[in-house]
């Protein structure tokens, strides 16, 4: 840990006060009130200076970490197709986020929801320069991960570390374009290294690193860092309230590097595709008591099919919108283990037993073969 001039001066002051303390004890060894008061005052002053010295050194370390990591992070701005407001006026739409430079070939990691349907993606670098990027591929809806590619000239790839090494209470930093105000660093701890929570679009329950480090709009896709400045996760979302309206604070989630990096490498190797099984479901809803009542379903567990491709594995097998998938290869579909969470355990081109209930309430067991997902 390097010391600033301030820290060095504080060290000198502490040494001087320690010397004064020794002199006081040597000159007056009587146990009178004046000597006791002087000793107490000196000890209090020494403690205060030690705390200030430690704070100066920590601040110096954090600043050094920020400057080291900053060239490996990009601030993302996206443009989307124009929309229409409530008064029928055409409005421009865009979003902000953050990305992490993966390698010197120009690949950048971010969250899929940051760049979804974007017409244009711009990356702002630490020196103020701006480059455009293109989407290589993503893993929606299984993982909120997208891989971008930009001009590789002069890029500084981030250093990555295993997220599996994180422990409860480990200090971590969130780094990103918080609220679009530029690069910002926030300190927190690992609240849960093995949290499971729904992704931003609520379609899949994913494994996360939970942290209380500040996460705000614009942080999405940015790095979660350990104290060495290595990336241990991609900041993905923050929870601010529960489904019943209760306010929540300090609950942020990051996708761990142990999950993200193998998927990103495969996306790059497969030129944008990650091999996932597909039955042709476009939209589905995990059932619980409340949702079943809203949808008029007579089951409180399973995946309620809302929309599917007309030409697909499920459609060819007789499954229709309004049917409920109960299990896939023996894996029960529940609110805790939803459809896409179970689907990612399957392998394309291998037969799967499917139990489903049709709209008439009749239960069926069929065998189907999922195809390779087409993007």
- Catalytic positions are 113, 144, 220
Give bridge partners of residue 80 from the DSSP assignment. Answer: 93
The closest alpha carbon to 217, from 198, 235, 196, 190, belongs to 235
Surface-to-core class of residue 119, CB atoms within 10 Å of its CB (0-12 exposed, 13-18 middle, 19+ buried): exposed
Whether the Cβ atoms of residue 277 and residue 373 lie closer than 8 Å to each other: yes
* CB proximity list for 356: less than 8 A, separation 6 or greater: 302, 319, 323, 324, 325, 326, 363, 364, 366
Please state, in angstroms and rounded to a whole number, the distance separating the CA atoms of residues 293 and 287. Answer: 9
Whether the Cβ atoms of residue 80 and residue 118 lie closer than 8 Å to each other: yes
Surface-to-core class of residue 31, CB atoms within 10 Å of its CB (0-12 exposed, 13-18 middle, 19+ buried): exposed
**Packed helices 33-69 and 5-27: angle between N→C axes, nearest 10 degrees:** 160
Give bridge partners of residue 252 from the DSSP assignment. Answer: 211, 238
Helix (H) or strand (E) holding 80: strand 73-84
Whether the Cβ atoms of residue 170 and residue 228 lie closer than 8 Å to each other: no
Please state, in angstroms and rounded to a whole number, the distance separating the CA atoms of residues 226 and 174. Answer: 9
Give bridge partners of residue 207 from the DSSP assignment. Answer: 196
* CB proximity list for 213: less than 8 A, separation 6 or greater: 172, 173, 174, 186, 187, 188, 189, 224, 252
The closest alpha carbon to 106, from 71, 147, 60, belongs to 147
Whether the Cβ atoms of residue 365 and residue 353 lie closer than 8 Å to each other: yes
The closest alpha carbon to 110, from 123, 129, 93, 94, belongs to 123
């Amino acid at each position: 840990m390097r010391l600033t001039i301030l820290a060095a001066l504080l060290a000198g002051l502490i040494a001087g006060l320690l010397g004064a303390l020794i002199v006081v004890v040597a000159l007056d060894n009587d146990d009178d009130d004046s000597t006791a008061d002087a000793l107490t005052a000196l000890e209090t002053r020494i403690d205060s200076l030690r705390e200030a010295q430690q704070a100066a050194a920590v601040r110096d370390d954090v600043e050094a970490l920020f400057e080291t990591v900053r060239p490996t992070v990009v601030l993302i701005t996206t443009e989307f197709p124009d929309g229409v407001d409530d008064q029928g006026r055409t409005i421009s739409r865009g979003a902000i986020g953050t990305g992490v430079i993966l390698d010197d070939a120009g690949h950048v990691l971010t969250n899929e929801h940051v760049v979804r349907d974007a017409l244009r993606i711009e990356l702002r670098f630490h020196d103020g320069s701006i480059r455009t990027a293109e989407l290589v591929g993503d893993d929606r809806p299984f993982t909120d991960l997208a891989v971008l590619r930009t001009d590789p000239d002069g890029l500084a790839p981030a250093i990555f570390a295993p997220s599996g090494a994180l422990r409860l209470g480990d200090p971590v930093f969130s780094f990103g374009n918080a609220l679009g105000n530029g690069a910002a660093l926030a300190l927190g701890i690992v609240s849960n290294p093995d949290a499971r929570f729904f992704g931003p679009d609520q379609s899949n329950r994913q494994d996360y690193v939970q942290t209380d480090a500040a996460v705000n709009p614009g942080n999405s896709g940015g790095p979660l860092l350990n104290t060495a400045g290595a990336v241990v996760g991609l900041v993905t979302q923050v929870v601010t309230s529960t489904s019943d309206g209760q306010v929540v604070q300090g609950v942020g989630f990051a996708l761990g590097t142990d999950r993200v990096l193998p998927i990103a490498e495969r996306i790059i190797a497969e030129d944008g595709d990650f091999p996932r099984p597909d039955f042709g479901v476009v939209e589905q809803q995990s059932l619980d008591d409340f949702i079943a009542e809203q949808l008029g379903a007579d089951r409180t567990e399973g995946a309620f099919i809302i929309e599917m491709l007309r030409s697909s594995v499920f459609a060819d097998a007789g499954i229709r919108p309004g049917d409920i998938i109960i299990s896939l290869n023996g894996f029960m579909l529940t609110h805790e283990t939803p459809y896409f969470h179970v689907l990612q355990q399957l392998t394309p081109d291998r037969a799967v037993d499917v139990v489903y209930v049709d709209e008439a309430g009749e239960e069926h067991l069929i065998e189907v073969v999922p195809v390779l997902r087409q993007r």
